[in-house]
Structure 1
């Protein structure tokens, strides 16, 4: 009975490991070295499909100070942000799944584009999404089958362990 319990625990740990591999969020864009010209600000997805789709909320004063230092002759009120460069949008069907995240890059234009938005060339982002929900990785039937088998085997292993511990508890009572 002890060998069965050890086998079931090992099987459960392997199943949970496979599920964790597919569902733990991972960074989408790889880190690259930044220079002194680069900035890091948190952007949020704005509603609507036209024009700039990102806004700066918490880092608005930080961005305003950077713009005043870099462009002292312009009075810029940063709110909308246009992002170019290494963006995570190709990884998901709907970028709203990513929510808000931090971008690291260089300011290209302080008040270009629509709505006089600041344009930032992004080197990398802190956006994360789990491997199973990424769209840039080809999903085969094997991956979906692996996740399904791991889920079912985890549930069955937990159920067997509960039965083993309940049966052991009954033996100690008698």
Structure 2
């Protein structure tokens, strides 16, 4: 459908299970806190984005993912910040902050990334369920279960030595 100016209309696809309610998406806007993000993070985040691109959620999840680094350090602990649920707009927002120190100490950094995202999105889903009685939290969590799948995690590298994470990254 096009508007009179010839551009595409801003309507999303219609979800069959919710009637005329537009299907929601899970999207990330990402900020890397340094010139050298943790090994594999960019590639893994691209895989996650590719996977959720085809998934219809009941709400739009607009997430701001901040990964700490040399320029913009993120204080520990990693996790969800500023969660907000807008029932009338069927939108959820929040910032997922990932501390470079937490990642450097993790034995499997990619698994840590996936688990942090999973935990944050699941928490947002719990917040929706607390306010929207029609929200099927179990079905929605099933759509992000792939983030907990260890077989899908391409984490073959150990974390850098926690005492010298910046030195190792700069040497590359």
TM-score (norm: length of structure 1): 0.24
| Larger Rg over CA atoms | 1
Query: Which protein has the bigger helix share?
Result: 1
TM-score (norm: length of structure 2): 0.24
Query: Which protein has the bigger strand share?
Result: 1
Higher relative contact order, structure no. (Cα contacts within 8 Å, ≥ 6 residues apart):
1
